[in-house]
Amino acid sequence: MNQARLWWTLWRAQWRDRPVRLLMPMLAIALGVALASAVYLVNRGALDEFERAARRLAGEADLVVRGAPAGFPESLYPAIARTPGVAVASPVLEVMVPGFRLFGYSGAQRPITEQPKTRHQVLLPVVAVDPFRATQVQPALLGEIAGNLRAFFRPDGIFLSVRAAGALGVGTGDQFDVLVGSSMRRLEVMGLLGESAYPRALGIMDIAAAQWMFDRSGIVNRIDVRVAEGADCDDVRAAIGRLLPSGVTVAAPAIDNERVASATRAYRVNLDMLALVAVLTGAFLVLATQALSILRRRTAFGLLRALGVTRGALRRALVLEGAALGIMGAALGVALGQRIGAWMLTALAGDLGAGQFAGVAGHLAPRPLEWVAFVVAGGLAAALASWWPAREAAARSPAAALKAGDAGIVLARVRPWRAGFALILLGAVLAVLPALHGLPLFGYGSIAALLLGGVLLVPGIADRVLGRMPTVRHTPTTLAIAQLRGSTAQASIGLAAIIVSFSLMVSMAIMVHSFRESFADWLDTILPADLQLRMGQGGDTGSLDAAAQARLARLDGVTRAEFRRTFALPLRRDATAVQIIAAPIDASTAASRLAIIESVAAGAQPARLPPAWISEAMVDLYGWSAGSTISLPLGRDQVAFRVAGIYRDYGRSTGSVVIPRSAYRAATGDASANDGAFWLARTATPAQVEAAIRAALDAGPALQLRTTTEVRQLSFANFDRAFAITYALEAIAVLIGLLGVSVTAASTALARRSEFGMLRHIGLLRRQVVAMLAGEGLLTSAIGIGCALVLGMALSLVLVYVVNRQSFLWSIDLAIPWWQLGVLAFALLAAAAVTATVSGRAALSGDALRAVREDW
């Protein structure tokens, strides 16, 4: 007999009879794959874009010499160019420039003071190059400008990417302002760069023009080097390295790329967690639907076995069925995932991703090979998910499967205590392991192990809970409890997906809440004053000279003013530059300005060395510790400091160091500042003082003044926005989990129609049967949600103390949002009860009463 024919006939018959039963596992697989592939796409899109951007700017350079944004003398350039083995060297000046759009006119000059007080500011990355050298090292960078070289040399000319032009609201021939020092300078747009080649905001200028425009004469901060053919790259690097002053490094661009990626890695913790949610929820959903779909049909399988189908043939047929469903579902899921991924990227590119995903959206190039991989993975997952129940179904004696009264007891004995505890133990062990390549891989492993272990314990726990249930004199309740006692394992399978998704959501909620609380405390500490001033938000070119600082400190209504100089300093070539903050601080005021978590007793400090405070990241990245002596390349020399304490810095995960301004000035002679804090007299309003400051500086809109309240509000708004997408996607995962529960509920309800018919015969009211079903749904969900809450809290410990610590390099204090969790749990419980009720109603509808008519 041709068995394939037989199976095909059976399968088609099932399809005609109850398409939903077969569609559900397929849909589950589709959703799981969609979630996973969407998150994968976002991750890939982001990484690709970072890489592309880095490569385009680095061009075909073999080596990149890099200094602090403040730069190094361009006299290094001829020395490097003459180094044996160097074919071409191309000097580059990279600056972050605060740019401002002009209002109401373009071209004509107008005094800054007449312009509106607040103007739209765009932080514009400008790359300035020597075109003749650059064409040999970064041909792609200049391809677009080649035909317009004359315009390129104009001292106030700049080429903008389409995105930058859009942000500034300018087109070719328009002008805009940039902040340099504490005054404005004007640039003219010479042309636009192609959007496909330059998806991010960027300006390109001639290096001489930029040096003049941004007051950096004689300064560059990058030199790209192409090594001559036949020369050894490492030898050349060593030779160049010997020429470099401290604070300037030379590295191969590969490391450079990695640096860019690692700078954004922290944000992607979010996405990694989501990927975990997606993959695990999807996998459990697939397992649940496949397992239940096979269990439901076991009587039919018993019949087939009795008719002469061998054990192996049955098993193979079921696994094959799972694979087929998996492949179809995954194909659907990939299509859906592509959509979701594109949507996520648009959302992230907006401002959810804190600007780090800008320009990624347009570049989700379809890769058919990846689609195939996802489809194959979906098929494999479904085949695996079918394998275990298929084995179980095939192993049963056909007589037992056919016997009435056997229904629902197949899995009664499955209580994987030992495997559950073993996995939880494994999770605990993984949690204490250190980061791998700077990534909390073991932390994620720990989460996965804890989750699996937790899910395996659920049937046993449900047993205990149901065993302790008091007996009540309410027949529907009694029946509900009895039914659940007899089918805990089956119910647990149905619950697995929602336990996984909900516990991950709980753990994320706890982590985000903990983070937010710690963040609030941190803001309180670092913002002691009433008014904050920044020169050209985060750019490299704005500053206040000593005279301006003195003028501001003497203003009416200001009781106290503090000024700081912040700048980035590369300390190691394979790490992002460290933020140095020169502030008026000493051992006595440190605790009131920094969120100190560890400090050295004052007595233990040798007085010779000036103190420095380091952020937690410096401990992890550089191995520094409280009490150790460090040296920073300030000015021309290395300056030694004694680490007086360690503080939390939620503003910079790549590390920061606070040093006394006096020490900074002594080493560099630089008395300028780029931000300030003002304490106001009780009688003065922030508006008055702001007006006075603006009048005193005449820097117009480039001066950013905010009250501490505003800064706090803005910070929290940014914070919440960054996590909004996380919440949205987790809600989707939980909804999918809920869908799993409802599918389970609906299918078991359908399978029990004859039972309901009998109960209706012997006198259960329709609503009593529905109440029984709702009770069952509520009880299983309550157990599931309870387990998920406990599991989620355990996971949150790993997230807070391991994953967060290892990926952001800062610590947070655990804070549990009881209220929020309560509402979430309650909402889910209500949803589960509604689901159970609806499926109960459906099962009772129509000729449910005659479901006993196998004999009537």
Partner 1 sequence: MNASSRTALLEVRGLGKRYRAHRPPVFGGVDLRLVTGDHVAIMGESGVGKSTLLNLVAGLDRPEAGTILLDGVEVGTLDDDAATRLRRAKMGFVFQAFHVLPYLTVAENVAVPLGLLGVARRESGARVAAILREVGLAGAGPRYPRELSGGELQRVAIARALVHRPRLVLADEPTGNLDPRTALQVLDLLRGQVRACGGAGILITHSFVAARTADRVLRLTAQGLAPEVLPP
Interacting residue with partner 1 among 266, 441, 692, 758 (CB under 8 A): 758
- Non-local (6+) Cβ contacts of 486 within 8 A are 408, 409, 412
By a kind-dependent CB cut-off of 5 to 8 A, residue 406 interacts, out of Mg ion, partner 1, none, with: partner 1
By a kind-dependent CB cut-off of 5 to 8 A, residue 560 interacts, out of Mg ion, partner 1, none, with: none
Positions 638 through 657 that interact with partner 1 (CB under 8 A):
none
Residue number of the CB atom closest to Mg ion: 856
* 573 neighbors 66 (Cβ within 8 angstroms): yes
State the Cα angle at 814 between 808 and 817, rounded to 5°: 115
Q: What distance in Å separates the CA atoms of residue 587 and residue 596, rounded to the nearest whole number?
A: 11
Q: What distance in Å separates the CA atoms of residue 751 and residue 739, rounded to the nearest whole number?
A: 18
Q: Establish if 754 lies at the interface with partner 1 (CB under 8 A).
A: yes
By a kind-dependent CB cut-off of 5 to 8 A, residue 425 interacts, out of partner 1, Mg ion, none, with: none
Considering the complex, state which of residue 481 and residue 789 has its C-beta at the smaller distance from partner 1: 481
Instruction: For tokens 């976002």, name the residue.
Output: 42
Q: Establish if 398 lies at the interface with partner 1 (CB under 8 A).
A: no
Structure tokens at 406: 């056997």
Considering the complex, state which of residue 229 and residue 854 has its C-beta at the smaller distance from partner 1: 854
Q: Supply the minimum distance, in Å, between the C-beta of residue 849 and partner 1.
A: 6
Q: What distance in Å separates the CA atoms of residue 373 and residue 362, rounded to the nearest whole number?
A: 23
Considering the complex, state which of residue 363 and residue 761 has its C-beta at the smaller distance from partner 1: 761
Considering the complex, state which of residue 4 and residue 472 has its C-beta at the smaller distance from partner 1: 472
Positions 823 through 852 that interact with partner 1 (CB under 8 A):
849-850, 852
Q: What is the 3-state secondary structure (H, E, C) of 212-228?
A: HHCCCCCEECEEEEEEC
Give the closest residue to 215 by CA, choosing from 190, 249, 178: 178
- Going residue by residue from 521 to 550, which x/- string records binding to partner 1, judged by CB under 8 A? ------------------------------
Applying CB under 8 A, what is the total number of residues that bind partner 1?
35
Q: Establish if 306 lies at the interface with partner 1 (CB under 8 A).
A: no
DSSP designation for 181: B
Q: Establish if 408 lies at the interface with partner 1 (CB under 8 A).
A: yes
Considering the complex, state which of residue 725 and residue 851 has its C-beta at the smaller distance from partner 1: 851
Interacting residue with partner 1 among 20, 409, 602, 695 (CB under 8 A): 409
Q: What distance in Å separates the CA atoms of residue 737 and residue 732, rounded to the nearest whole number?
A: 9
Q: Establish if 724 lies at the interface with partner 1 (CB under 8 A).
A: no
- Non-local (6+) Cβ contacts of 620 within 8 A are 809
Q: Supply the minimum distance, in Å, between the C-beta of residue 852 and Mg ion.
A: 11
By a kind-dependent CB cut-off of 5 to 8 A, residue 763 interacts, out of Mg ion, partner 1, none, with: partner 1
Cα 760–chain centre separation: 53
Give the closest residue to 695 by CA, choosing from 556, 561, 565: 556
Interacting residue with partner 1 among 343, 550, 761, 830 (CB under 8 A): 761
By a kind-dependent CB cut-off of 5 to 8 A, residue 487 interacts, out of Mg ion, partner 1, none, with: partner 1
Q: What distance in Å separates the CA atoms of residue 745 and residue 837, rounded to the nearest whole number?
A: 9
Considering the complex, state which of residue 241 and residue 486 has its C-beta at the smaller distance from partner 1: 486
Q: Establish if 694 lies at the interface with partner 1 (CB under 8 A).
A: no
Q: Supply the minimum distance, in Å, between the C-beta of residue 456 and partner 1.
A: 23
Instruction: For tokens 């780029």, name the residue.
Output: 674
By a kind-dependent CB cut-off of 5 to 8 A, residue 403 interacts, out of partner 1, Mg ion, none, with: partner 1
Q: Establish if 402 lies at the interface with partner 1 (CB under 8 A).
A: no
Q: Supply the minimum distance, in Å, between the C-beta of residue 738 and partner 1.
A: 25
List C-alpha distances in Å: 498 to 279, 451, 505, 782. 13, 12, 10, 12
Burial of 604 (0-12, 13-18, 19+ CB in 10 A): exposed
Interacting residue with partner 1 among 16, 229, 762, 819 (CB under 8 A): 762
- Non-local (6+) Cβ contacts of 720 within 8 A are none
Amino acid (1-letter code) at residue 132? F
Q: Establish if 280 lies at the interface with partner 1 (CB under 8 A).
A: no
Q: Establish if 855 lies at the interface with partner 1 (CB under 8 A).
A: yes
Q: Supply the minimum distance, in Å, between the C-beta of residue 457 and partner 1.
A: 22
Interacting residue with partner 1 among 755, 772, 785, 800 (CB under 8 A): 755
Interacting residue with partner 1 among 48, 144, 406, 517 (CB under 8 A): 406
- Going residue by residue from 817 to 856, which x/- string records binding to Mg ion, judged by CB under 5 A? ---------------------------------------x
Q: Supply the minimum distance, in Å, between the C-beta of residue 760 and Mg ion.
A: 18
- Non-local (6+) Cβ contacts of 691 within 8 A are none
List C-alpha distances in Å: 177 to 107, 225, 466, 539. 11, 33, 72, 14
**First-to-last CA distance in the chain?**
36
SS3 content of the chain, % helix, strand, coil (to 5): 60, 15, 25
Q: Supply the minimum distance, in Å, between the C-beta of residue 402 and partner 1.
A: 12
Applying CB under 5 A, what is the total number of residues that bind Mg ion?
1
DSSP character string of 669-730? ----BSEEEEEEPTT--HHHHHHHHHHHH--GGGEEEEEHHHHHHHHHHHHHHHHHHHHHHH
Interacting residue with partner 1 among 104, 308, 470, 763 (CB under 8 A): 763
Q: Supply the minimum distance, in Å, between the C-beta of residue 474 and partner 1.
A: 8
Count each helix (H run) and each strand (E run) in the chain, helices first.
28, 21
662-664-666-670 Cα dihedral, nearest 10 degrees: -110
By a kind-dependent CB cut-off of 5 to 8 A, residue 478 interacts, out of partner 1, Mg ion, none, with: partner 1
By a kind-dependent CB cut-off of 5 to 8 A, residue 405 interacts, out of partner 1, Mg ion, none, with: partner 1
Q: What distance in Å separates the CA atoms of residue 159 and residue 144, rounded to the nearest whole number?
A: 10
Positions 431 through 490 that interact with partner 1 (CB under 8 A):
473, 475, 478-479, 482-483, 485-487
Count of residues making up the chain = 856
Q: Supply the minimum distance, in Å, between the C-beta of residue 853 and Mg ion.
A: 8
As beta bridge partners, residue 599 has: 645
Residues of the shown chain interacting with partner 1 in the complex, contacts defined by CB under 8 A: 403-409, 473, 475, 478-479, 482-483, 485-487, 754-755, 757-766, 849-850, 852-856
Q: Write out the residues near Mg ion by the rule CB under 5 A.
A: 856
